[in-house]
Amino acid sequence: MATQEKVDAVIVGAGASGSVFAAVLAKAGKKVVMMDNGPDWQSSDLISSDIWGRRVKPAGAPFILEGKHPVSMGAQGGWGVGGAALHYFANFPRLLPNDFRIKSEHNRAHDWPISYEEVAPFYDKIAHEIGVSGDAAAEELWRPKGQPYPMPPMRTFRNGQVWLKGFEANGIRMVPAAVGMNSTEFKGRAACIYDGWCHVGCPIGALANPLVTFLADARKAGAEVRAWSTVTRVLTDTSGNKVTGVEYYDRNHEKQVQPASVVVLAAWAAQNPRLLLNSATDKHDKGLANRNGLVGKYLMTHFASGTNAMFDEDVQNHMGTLGAQYMSYERYGKSAHKGAFGSTFIVAGSSIKLSGLGGLANTRPDLFGEALHAFVKRAVKNLARMNAFGEEQPKIENRLELASEKDEFGMPLGRIIHSYDDNDTALWNANFEEGLKIAKATDSKEVWQGRAAPPTIHLMGGTIMGTGAANSVVDSFGQTHEVPNLYCAGPGIFATAGASNPTYTIFALSLRGAEHLAKNWSSVAG
């Protein structure tokens, strides 16, 4: 085992949240090393193909997936530099003020320890830093006023426009979707060409993935990115009051130690708690930052209620972006649907490629043989879809724990147990019912939905933020309550899930946490 030269900060995970911390700290003059367990992907690796696109996703991620609704790890997770944000859809809705005070307003779930107003400036900063297209003023139907986005909305296509009649008939106002994509050239990055391959990675840099935004900034400022480096433990001093670095395995499977003054865990909502639990010592016998037993608890996902419709016209579904052209917070109120609690975020208009889990052929998973072929021939011209994303309420039973089985490095696998409850499924079903009404008010004569089981989209929680150690693992900056020079970043620190796609909030919270850390470096690093 070799010990590397000490650095100021080691960041575990080179995805959306880790790259923000790395950029901010490196620009502040700190010596930063980022560790990632996969390849050092470059933009030129992002081949436009559903088949080749699977390479940037986990293969046999070290988790056992259990519960009534197991987490969709393979499709949602990232693998390698850039993380899951290398293949995300770049839908950039933000959380709304009501997300931050569910407990106060409804006596359910948790309040966040911060308000929307404290996060909003960071949404605006992120928009201008990495580029967001949309119409902020239009969104202000539902949220407090903020800064305009730096780019106008993206182009729309018939596959989105055909839904507008249905939304209008149901009193749902749609506005241009906010997306982390370039509707025009932005900071030297190309404008989108609407080829619809967002989900396998955008090699032209029109989509704000980490490689062309914060990770590029971090590298430019001197941060080192160490690929194929698998962190297995966070190390602490003999007192247990400070972290001293991390233990990891390099690409030759040699054990190494990387000493650091500050450790930031940015390895996603599943891996962060796995690492904390595996870092137990005599001073932290239940795992680091886990004296209250809350590490790994309150894992949350989103469930989508998708509605498909066949139209007589050619809706050009091979074109556009994979995220959304239109969005609405019209049903974002926690009590918007009778008999089901939680927010709903609605989107419409997306490209639909032929293969892949979200592809055209899988909108009718029951079809095979000649029936499938006949369907595909029609759908390539006439299929369009809309989606309503629902908010899962946090449940302490939805958790990650260590399993007895071990991975190739001798680290226990994580067991993720996840189930929706009756309220979640009620909201999922309510969104389906409304989706049907919307679709039937369009010009489509053929409408269908896939209701086999609620999907598990995005992963949040596991190291939630709160006001103190009695109710949470970290504070609003991601600093653990238990060990001051240990941070968690990413969707794991969300106190509740909201219904908005999480990455915009991940970027915003990470920027807020990183700037706070840089400003208070001496008191944190000691």
Cβ-based burial of 526 (10 A; exposed 0-12, middle 13-18, buried ≥19): exposed
CB of 448 to other proteins, least distance (A): 17
Of the residues 18, 58, 153, 166, which one makes contact with other proteins according to CB under 8 A = 58
Does 355 bind other proteins (CB under 8 A)? Our answer is: yes
Of the residues 203, 210, 287, 498, which one makes contact with other proteins according to CB under 8 A = 203
Nearer to other proteins, 144 or 365 (CB): 365
CB of 65 to other proteins, least distance (A): 6
Nearer to other proteins, 204 or 441 (CB): 204
**C-alpha span between 497 and 491 (Å, rounded):** 9
Contact positions with other proteins (CB under 8 A) in 301-340: 318-319
Does 204 bind other proteins (CB under 8 A)? Our answer is: yes
**Which secondary-structure segment (H or E) carries 519?**
helix 503-519
CB of 158 to other proteins, least distance (A): 15
Q: Can you say how many angstroms the Cα of residue 133 is from the centroid of all Cα atoms in its chain?
A: 19
* Other residues' Cβ atoms within 10 Å of the Cβ of residue 47: 15
**C-alpha span between 197 and 454 (Å, rounded):** 25
Nearer to other proteins, 259 or 358 (CB): 358
CB of 312 to other proteins, least distance (A): 17
Nearer to other proteins, 39 or 240 (CB): 39
The closest alpha carbon to 439, from 172, 87, 250, belongs to: 172
R_g over Cα of the chain: 22
DSSP structural state of residue 521: H
The closest alpha carbon to 382, from 211, 160, 159, 147, belongs to: 159
β-strands 32-35, 224-226 pairing = parallel
Does 57 bind other proteins (CB under 8 A)? Our answer is: yes
b (16+ CB within 10 A) / e for 51-74? eebbbbbbeebbbebebebbbbbb
**C-alpha span between 38 and 57 (Å, rounded):** 10
Nearer to other proteins, 79 or 477 (CB): 79
Does 45 bind other proteins (CB under 8 A)? Our answer is: yes
Nearer to other proteins, 60 or 152 (CB): 60
* Other residues' Cβ atoms within 10 Å of the Cβ of residue 15: 32
Does 412 bind other proteins (CB under 8 A)? Our answer is: no
Contact positions with other proteins (CB under 8 A) in 64-123: 65, 70, 72-75, 79-80
Of the residues 114, 380, 447, 525, which one makes contact with other proteins according to CB under 8 A = 380
Does 60 bind other proteins (CB under 8 A)? Our answer is: yes
Of the residues 78, 356, 454, 498, which one makes contact with other proteins according to CB under 8 A = 356
For other proteins, the binding residues (CB under 8 A) are 38-42, 44-52, 54-55, 57-61, 65, 70, 72-75, 79-80, 193, 195-197, 202-204, 227, 318-319, 354-357, 359, 361-362, 365-366, 368-370, 372-373, 376-377, 380
